[in-house]
Amino acid sequence: MTASTLMPDTLQWLPDGGQAPQQLMVLLHGWGASAQDMAPLAQLLRRQFPQAAVLAPQGFEPVDNALAGRQWFSVQGATEANRPERVAAALPAFADWLRAAQAATGVGPAATALMGFSQGAILSLELVQRHDGLAGRVLAFSGRYAALPETAPQHTTLHFFHGADDPVIPAVHARQAMQRLADVGGDATIDIAEGVGHAIPVSLMQCALQRLTSHIPHRTWAAAMGSVPGLAGQAGRGQDD
């Protein structure tokens, strides 16, 4: 598997020895950044999950203001009213890219995790809202929904990580998302770091590792309980503290 198999400028960290990946982890940078900015998170994931393919694509567009950096969708003149349509316009290309990455690595949707920062988190959340189960998990760092969902994904688990002092996308957006997902039966967790702004500090990276290794999706609990006589229907939804 090479970068040209997926898309130009995709950074890759693959299992040693040419082994077939067991998981696919896709890292999506924020506005005005690049795939290289996700390298510290990629290195942490590689140490914890050496059998995973970790891919970091470049944003599909150059930033609006002609400065260095990439974007997933334009933020020029963005408002609460027009943000959803801008994100929706970027989803088909990203969905196609992700399916191509899954085909190239041989890893299916259930073993795929999307990890986005800021604009990359917005894109990831909206993708599984439209294509439920195209990834088994979304880890959203300093992100938000373009618009709060009316329904929750039933085949994707959502993890929110946010700095309490984020001045770009305030943490209230993550809290509002958790409340909405709780209301509509979503499977989600949230971790908020005090004294942290718009960033992915080591503390939240460690929280992400804990969620990946310890949180059992509610759909898995439901399937297990449904196979035990007398326990069917007892696997309710909720959220971790």
Active site residues per annotation: 118, 166, 198
Close Cβ partners of 33 (under 8 Å, ≥ 6 residues apart): 59, 69, 70, 117
Measure the CA–CA gap between 138 and 59, rounded to whole angstroms.
18
Residue 11 half-sphere exposure, CB side, CA atoms within 13 Å?
18
Q: Tell me the residue ranges of DSSP E strands in 7-147.
A: 11-13, 23-28, 52-56, 61-62, 70-71, 112-117, 137-141
Measure the CA–CA gap between 127 and 129, rounded to whole angstroms.
5
Any long-range contacts for 211-215 (C-beta under 8 Å, 24+ apart)? 211/139, 211/159, 211/240, 212/48, 212/49, 212/113, 212/137, 212/139, 213/48, 215/157, 215/159, 215/189, 215/240
204 touches 141 (CB < 8 A): yes
Angle between the 119-130 and 83-105 helix axes, to the nearest 10 degrees? 80
Measure the CA–CA gap between 59 and 119, rounded to whole angstroms.
10
First to last CA, the chain: 40
SS3 183: helix
